[in-house]
Amino acid sequence: PTGGPSSIETEQLIYDIRDVSGSFLSTYGAEVGVTGITATNIDISDKIADVLPLYLGTVILLSLFLLMLVFRSILIPVLAAAGFLLTVTATLGAVVAVYQWGWLADLFGVTSPGPILSFLPIFLIGILFGLAMDYQLFLVSGMREAYAHGKKPRDAINFGIHLSRGVVVAAALIMITVFGGFAFSHLATIRPIGFGLAIGVLIDAFLVRLLLVPAAMTILNKSAWWIPKWIDKSMPDVDVEGTKLERKVLH
């Protein structure tokens, strides 16, 4: 091959050799195979690409079910999942732009842009999902508590934001600082991981959770808390706010 081990030409060459290996076996009785670290990395990348949609779909479905169970709403889990997809898409786009295309390469110390790590998308999705749902629970739990106690939908949203935004901002800044430090590591394989996690937390906490989700809930108004009665009755009652426990203690 004329390119390096990570080039498109090398990858295509491996596929071409494997395509003609069957004819070699039938014609000459010789079995042809491709091995080595380059072929192994390509095989791993293909396997990860095959399972990535299933992995992402499973994560989204679980988040929809759990958030529906906690907040007794159909649209709030949908907003949370849509926001998470936006975060993941923007994060992967930023990582590709910097470490594969070389945008702002000097700023982040990228000397030789190239393909990103094959396992990076799965790694980012897993960690960012946990942090995104954490921020979502912080914010919407306060909104749910206020709405359950009789506040109007918009007042409940404002109450929840004022109650929890300090915690979300502080937690996000801590994670951005920690992950951002790895973006300037001397290890080239660690840099895109740290950068991706830092930019992902930045996007999710400050753009998605503190801006887009509350804005969408404000537009939806009371519909944001709608859930069919038969679904509500079929799900167990999760006392997130601790209201029922508080009543038992007081009485």
- pLDDT for 28-38, tens place per residue? 777 777 878 88
- pLDDT for 164-175, tens place per residue? 999 999 999 999
Is a pLDDT exceeding 90 seen at residue 201?
yes
- As a three-state string, the secondary structure of 2-34 is CCCCCCHHHHHHHHHHHHHHHHHHHHHCCCCCC
Residues 182 and 90 in one domain: yes
Is a pLDDT exceeding 60 seen at residue 241?
no
Residues 29 and 61 in one domain: no
Residues 14 and 75 in one domain: no
- Would residue 2 count as lying in a domain? yes
Residues 81 and 181 in one domain: yes
- pLDDT for 121-161, tens place per residue? 999 999 999 999 999 999 998 898 888 888 999 999 999 99
Cα separation, 71 vs 146, in Å, equals 12
Out of 2-11, 18-27, 96-105, 208-217, the most confident range is 208-217
Give the pLDDT score at 10.
Answer: 77
Give the pLDDT score at 1.
Answer: 60
Residues 20 and 68 in one domain: no
Q: What is the mean pLDDT of the chain?
A: 87
pTM recorded for the entire structure: 0.83
- Would residue 248 count as lying in a domain? no
Give the pLDDT score at 2.
Answer: 66
Give the pLDDT score at 244.
Answer: 59
- Would residue 251 count as lying in a domain? no
Residues 99 and 212 in one domain: yes
Percent of the chain at pLDDT above 70?
92
189 band by pLDDT with thresholds 50, 70 and 90: confident
18 band by pLDDT with thresholds 50, 70 and 90: confident
Residues 134 and 84 in one domain: yes
**DSSP H stretches of helix in 36-190:** 37-71, 75-95, 120-148, 153-182
Cα separation, 195 vs 129, in Å, equals 16
Q: What is the DSSP letter of 116?
A: P
String of b and e for 127-165 (b: at least 16 CB within 10 Å)? bbbebbbbbbbbbbbbbbbbbeeebebeebbbbbbebbb
Out of 180-194, 198-212, 227-241, the most confident range is 198-212
Domains in the chain, number: 2
231 band by pLDDT with thresholds 50, 70 and 90: confident
Cβ atoms 133, 63 nearer than 8 A: yes
- pLDDT for 37-88, tens place per residue? 888 888 888 888 888 899 999 989 988 998 998 888 999 999 999 999 999 9
245 band by pLDDT with thresholds 50, 70 and 90: low
Provide the domain limits for residue 6: 1-34
- Would residue 42 count as lying in a domain? no
- Would residue 73 count as lying in a domain? yes
Question: What CATH number should be reported for the domain holding residue 195?
Answer: 1.20.1640.10
Q: What is the mean pLDDT of residues 191-203?
A: 96
End-to-end CA distance of the chain: 78
Cα separation, 75 vs 138, in Å, equals 17
